[in-house]
Amino acid sequence: MEPSIATSIGQIQLDKPVMLASGILGISLDVFNRLYASGAGAVVTKSLSTAPWEGYPNPTIFSVKGGGWINAVGLSNPGASNFAKMIEPNQDVPIIVSLVGSVPEDFETMIKEFENCKIKAYELNLSCPHVAKVGLEVGDDPGLVKTIVSTVKKATNVPVIAKVGLGTSNYLNTVSNAVDSGIDAITAINTVRAMAINVETKRPILSNKFGGLSGTPIKPIALRCVYEISSKFDIPIIGCGGVSTWEDAVEFFLAGASAVQLGSAIGDNWVGVFDDINRGILEYMKKNNYSTIKDMVGLAKKS
């Protein structure tokens, strides 16, 4: 019998385990349809705010020697209301809406905008490393995490995911507070705070000075975080950070994730990366006699 690469992240059912991460190509329904047709199990939107944000001036992205990217786009987006109108015609694509805010009321307001939209889940961005008063500053505040998650869970029946990252406090405390407040799943991790300096101008390259490092350099960190979270909490996990091959995806499954997200890999391999990874996962499952993704999840923790 042919193995199945369908997966579930709690209540979220997906035909394929590889998703688009937030922040990459996440702003157009036409693009979402193309990504879905190319093998993405779901697409996560750019992080949306209550009102449109322009983001930072250029330069906002820098290619790291040896692989990876540092970006400080500044969460530019058209605002939740405008974006909801854009995706309302959606019928087929599994869309996960990423939301960012600084107080619980921000999230409650935005969720109301999507009442008429067909979406799979919300992903709460509690970990952006380069925008003040949102992201990591929220994730580092245990009380605020609890209040935001509780507020969102009361406001919707759609599954809710918390995206965590590495801030000034122990990220496992953020996970713990989110789990205690009823979160449905965890995405780990967001980009890691970083910077680059031009040796000729002797100045930081990015206009914001600091940005978020993504891609291959952070995969070992993300993998460690998924392993730690799955070892300490009974919560579905989406692995994110440096996924570019089927081997990367399988590592995250073995560490405890039920699905993965990718973003930076599109810069190198364009949208064909989804189908390449899906086919590689399927061949690995055949070789090891695994019937489902679940058969692999967490095996690296077993003695």
Task: Report the candidate in 33, 70, 47, 75 with the shortest Cα–Cα distance to residue 271.
Answer: 33
Beta bridge partners of 181: none
Give yes or no: 240 in active site.
no
Long-range contacts of residues 114-120, Cβ cutoff 8 Å, at least 24 apart: 114/80, 114/84, 116/84, 116/88, 117/84, 117/87, 117/88, 117/90, 118/90, 118/91, 119/87, 119/90, 119/95, 119/158, 120/12, 120/14, 120/42, 120/94, 120/95, 120/96, 120/158, 120/159
264 is in an annotated binding site: yes
63 among the known binding-site residues?
no
Q: What angle do CA 238, 111, 37 make, to 5 degrees?
A: 50
Residue 47 assigned to a binding site: yes
Ligand-binding annotation for 189, yes or no, is yes
Phi, psi of 301 (to 5 degrees): -90, -10
Residue 271 annotated as lining a ligand binding site: no
Element (H, E) at 89: none
Q: Which of 117, 128, 225, 240 is catalytic?
A: 128
The candidate with the shortest Cα–Cα distance to 100, out of 89, 91, 109, is 109
73 is annotated as contributing to ligand binding: yes
Q: Is 35 annotated as a binding residue?
A: no
The residue whose two tokens read 């008429």 is 116
- Phi, psi at residue 33, to the nearest 5°? -60, -40
211 labeled part of a ligand binding site: no
163 appears as a binding residue in the annotation = yes
Establish whether 74 is an annotated binding residue.
Answer: yes
The response to whether 286 counts as a known ligand-binding position is no
Q: Rounded to an integer, what distance in angstroms lies between the CA atom of residue 219 and that of residue 33?
A: 28
Phi/psi at 222 (5° precision): -60, -40
39 is in an annotated binding site: no
Tell me if 82 is assigned to a ligand binding site.
no
- Annotated ligand binding at 131? The verdict is no
Q: How many Å separate Cα 191 from the centre of its chain?
A: 10
Q: Does 170 belong to an annotated binding site?
A: no
Annotated binding site for FMN: 22, 46-47, 125, 163, 189, 215, 241-242, 263-264
Annotated binding site: 22, 46-47, 71-75, 125, 163, 189-191, 215, 241-242, 263-264
Annotated binding site for substrate: 46, 71-75, 125, 190-191
Catalytic residues: 128
